[in-house]
Amino acid sequence: MSLLLKTTKIINDWTDYNGHMNLSYYILVFDKGAEVILSKFKMGEHSAKTEKKSTMVVETHTTYNNEVKEGNEVDLSDCPEWNFDGSSTRQAPGHASECLLRPVRMYQWDGNHYFVLCEVYNVDGTPHASNYRAPLREKQESFDSAKFWWGFEQEYFITKDFTPLGFPKGGYPKPQGLYYCGVGGNQVRGRELVELHLLTCLDMGIHLTGTNAEVAVGQWEYQCFADDTLKACDDLWMSRYILYRLAEDYRLDINIDPKPVHGDWNGSGCHTNFSNERMRTEGGLPYFEEVFSRFEARHQLHIDAYGEDNDQRLTGDHETQHIGKFSWGVANRGASIRVPTNVERDGWVGYLEDRRPASNCDPYRVAKVIVEAVENV
């Protein structure tokens, strides 16, 4: 009998100066695995506490099949398929309320605790209509072979009692422009939460490359990178969840609506930076022009996949192109697609930034339409 065990990542403290895992931690990992197996046979911690019966190790033998180094993943426990009340989440009617949860990725948090990311399925085994990860997974051969890299720029507002931090009750602060990458108590709000979120995500293996105060007071952004398409989307989804959870401890809330403050204030986007291997190595202006042509022809398809209420943000003002138009430009943050200056300077080799996705977008939908637009160019 074999068991698929829970995944954890080998950390630096477990390794020696050669980067190999120390003997004592091999034993620790195996011991954790043994605890999982004992629990499956009702001989674990619960049994010890309720029935006053337990086990002890008299002798152990360690066999090395593979060397383990820092960053490698080690399986520790399996997660079974589960079900939940879909009628309470508006995903199923009350008379047939059950939906299924299938674990797809695990994130270790604070030692022995885990967050488990799941896909939602109908009871007949088909992906639920809200499950956009499954259709993206079907494109895996395409995006794996093209070696896509992704960088999501997640913007959001920190709010208290439905008001952005720094906004006086029933009024407005000084006009925006003073707050971008600001410092000081009069310029930024919520930095303690922001930095805790950054460190927590890094500890959990989510590669946040940075964070900064945004154009409006109380508005922030973090950047989430991965060179694996599914992991990039999973990490963004999980990082949002972690942000909401941490905000609870401060009695704050997070708003990822694309235009939470109307008037002369920037909205919130999820600008999506992407490249495939050809963009990063061969490139060339003719290739990029063909990519732009594909995006223009599919503009409405992309808009439909890029988030709700995005028309309130994509007005043509506040560093956006109008939702009904498509454009691209070098260093142009008012375009649909921004070409970074260094891409043109380096002979049209590098990456692109799609500035249309909203802050509340589903990253799986965003990645799927981008992969489909670029494939076979």
CATH number of 81-131: 3.40.50.12240, 1.10.1660.10, 3.40.50.300, 3.10.20.70? 3.10.20.70
The candidate with the shortest Cα–Cα distance to 267, out of 308, 295, 225, is 308
Per-residue pLDDT for 1 more than 60? no
pTM for this entry: 0.80
E runs forming strands in the chain: 7-9, 73-75, 82-85, 98-109, 113-121, 149-160, 163-164, 208-213, 219-226, 253-255, 270-275, 328-330, 337-339, 352-354
pLDDT in tens, 17-46: 777 777 676 677 666 666 655 665 556 666
Q: What is the DSSP code string of 349-375?
A: -S-EEE---BTT--HHHHHHHHHHHHT
Find the mean pLDDT for residues 263-292: 96
What's the topology of domain 140-374?
Answer: Creatine Kinase; Chain A, domain 2 (3.30.590)
Report, at the CATH architecture level, how domain 1-78 is classified. Roll (3.10)
What is the Cα–Cα distance from 12 to 70, expressed in whole angstroms?
6
| More confident position, 185 or 223 | 223
Find the mean pLDDT for residues 241-252: 97
| More confident position, 138 or 362 | 362
Task: State residue 341's pLDDT score.
Answer: 97
pLDDT in tens, 80-120: 788 999 999 999 999 999 999 999 998 988 777 889 999 99
Per-residue pLDDT for 3 more than 50? no
- Paired with 354 in beta bridges are 272, 337
Q: Could you state, in order of their start, the residue ranges of all structural domains in the chain?
A: 1-78, 81-131, 140-374
